[in-house]
A and B are shown apart, each in its own frame.
Chain A
Amino acid sequence: MTGIESGGRSGSSYLDLGLEAKMLALFEDCAATKTESAKNEVGHKAKELERLRAEIDEAMKEAAEARENAGLWGKISSFFGGDVAKLAQLCAAVAVVVGSGGTGAPLVLAGMACLAAAEAGRECGLDPKICTALSLAGAVLCASGGAGVQTTATQASSLFTAIGGGAQATGSAASAVQAQWEAEAERLDAEARLTDAEQEQVLVLIEQAFQRLRRIQSDSERATSVTMKTLQDQHYSQQAVLSNL
């Protein structure tokens, strides 16, 4: 069997064997070649599996980093587009109210309420047309409240409005960057999923190679057992013939 395990025997070395033994030896030769091939396949696929796993790990790590970046830009967007812009709008409204000596307060407050309602409506999924109408109404009311306001107050209000606008622009830009990072994370997730599917395929192939190995082993055991039994039977029959001769 040593010769067979090390890659098979040449056909000429079977000459000294009987028919059944020759067949068994040939079968074992064939089984050894198949085993070698299946083992090589398992080894090759195991390396491929390792590479794919590393790729998945890498993609997942990069996706996590992209999500972290998206989170950071989301915070920046929420800070500028939310907190700073709202505070600036509030300051602008206060400046108008103070500048008008309180006379514009009802209009400005109504305008602010309309603006706040429009924003809340947008977040709650209210009809965009209604939200736009509320925004427009808010802007008009605020502007009307500012009519006849003292010059310094108007300047302060304009300044705060400009700050609010700038903050909103920064928030919009940050939001766009955040979405780009989120898209990158989605791309990396898709790559990881594709590699995972490839990994599944490789696992199936490895399982098939193992099945082949088990099959070859069981076939080999069966062939050996049948050949031994046949040889034994032949031996008995020869003895029987000889003893009855």
Chain B
Amino acid sequence: MNVAGISFTSASAELAAMVVEHEANQAESDQEQMEAYQRKIEREAEKEYRAAIAAADAGGRAALVGGAMGILSSGATVAGAYESYRSASIQVDSSMSLATQEQLSGQKQELAARAGLFTAAGTPFQALNPMAQAFGGGIEKERQQARAQQSARTIQQMQSEADQLAQQARRSEQRSDAALDHAAKFVESDNARANAVLSNF
């Protein structure tokens, strides 16, 4: 009759020792699992961090693309307005010679056409801005944000499982303590019996 290399003279003490050993093993196994969970949580937190940083970077890129498109669009508007201003500044008077009048009118038309061209050129930049932002980082940002959220959910789940394991480990330790107390009582009663035998010897 031996448990963990120790031989017991009383069957009840042996039983108690077996319970203690079993619960101690259980507590150890729970502890190991908990440590494994902690390592997993650590890795998942690292993943969440990387995804969040990548999302922030992608968001920054998308904003830069959006800003650049906005500036191009507004720049085209300003350029168009400038050409329009220049066109309006050209005065064609009937007192001028016919050749001059034709030349100035030609310039005026040319500038007006250029103004229209610039204004028209600015419109696609404005229209395509949301799409450019999406391809420039908006989609990537959403993808990375989803990954970060997934990691956060996994962490929460693992934390709850680790808590359950910790509770199990505590219960195992409590049972092990109770079994130890029982074992001590059995040993005491064995001793008391031996003493009684000796005193009546």
Residues on A lying within 8 angstroms of B by beta carbon are: 81, 128, 131-132, 135-136, 139, 143, 151-152, 154-155, 157-159, 161-162, 164-166, 168-169, 171-173, 175-180, 182-184, 186-187, 189-191, 193-194, 197-198, 200-201, 204, 215, 218, 222, 225-226, 229-230, 233, 236-237, 240-241, 243-244
A165 and B75: CB pair below 8 A? Answer: yes
Is the Cβ of A226 less than 8 Å from the Cβ of B56? no
* Contact present for A154 and B84 (CB under 8 Å): yes
CB distance from A4 to the nearest CB of B (A): 22
A-B contact pairs, 16 of them (CB 8 A): A132-B123, A135-B127, A151-B89, A155-B85, A155-B88, A165-B77, A172-B71, A172-B73, A182-B59, A182-B63, A186-B56, A187-B52, A194-B45, A194-B46, A204-B38, A229-B184
Q: Are B77 and A168 in contact (CB under 8 A)?
A: yes
Which residue numbers of B lie inside 8 Å of A, CB to CB?
38, 41-42, 45-46, 48-49, 52-53, 55-57, 59-60, 62-64, 66-71, 73-78, 80-82, 84-85, 87-89, 91, 115-116, 119, 123, 126-127, 130-131, 148, 155, 159, 173, 177, 180, 184, 187-188, 191-192, 194-195, 198-199, 201
Cβ B62 vs Cβ A166 within 8 A: no
| Main SS class of interface, B | helix
Select A159's contact among B77, B80, B85, beta carbons within 8 Å. B85
- Once A169-B70, A172-B70, A172-B71 are accepted as A-B contacts, the answer to whether A233 and B78 lie under 8 Å apart by CB is no
**Residues from chain A with Cβ under 8 Å of B180 in the complex:** 222
Contacts of B201 in A (CB 8 A): 240-241, 244
Contact B63 A237 (CB under 8 A): no
**Is A169 a contact of B75 with CB atoms below 8 Å?**
yes
Rounded to whole angstroms, the CA-CA distance of A115 and B63 in the bound complex is 24
> Whole-angstrom distance between the alpha carbons of A200 and B48 in the complex?
15
The answer for the CA separation of A168 and B78 in the assembled complex, in Å, is 10
Alpha-carbon separation in the docked complex, A180 to B137 (Å): 13
**Complex-state Cα separation, A143 to B91, whole angstroms:** 20
Q: How far is the CA of A191 from the CA of B53 in the complex (A)?
A: 9
| A-B pairs under 8 A by CB, number | 173
Q: Are B130 and A139 in contact (CB under 8 A)?
A: no
When the two chains form their complex, are residues B55 and A186 in contact, meaning their CB atoms are under 8 A apart?
Answer: yes
Given A172-B67, A194-B49, CB of A230 within 8 Å of CB of B88: no
**Neighbouring B residues of A164 by C-beta, 8 Å:** 77
**Contact B88 A158, beta carbon cutoff 8 Å:** yes
Q: Is the CB of B177 within 8 A of A179?
A: no
Q: Is there an interface contact between B198 and A165, defined as CB atoms closer than 8 Å?
A: no
- In the complex formed, the residue of B with least CB distance to A176 is B67
Which chain B residues lie closer than 8 Å to A244 at the CB level?
A: 198-199, 201
B84 touches A135 (CB 8 A): no
In-complex Cβ contact of B49 among A154, A155, A177, A191 (8 A):
A191
A151 with B74: CB separation less than 8 A: no
Minimum-distance CB pairs A-B, first 7: A176-B67, A172-B70, A179-B63, A190-B52, A165-B77, A169-B74, A197-B45
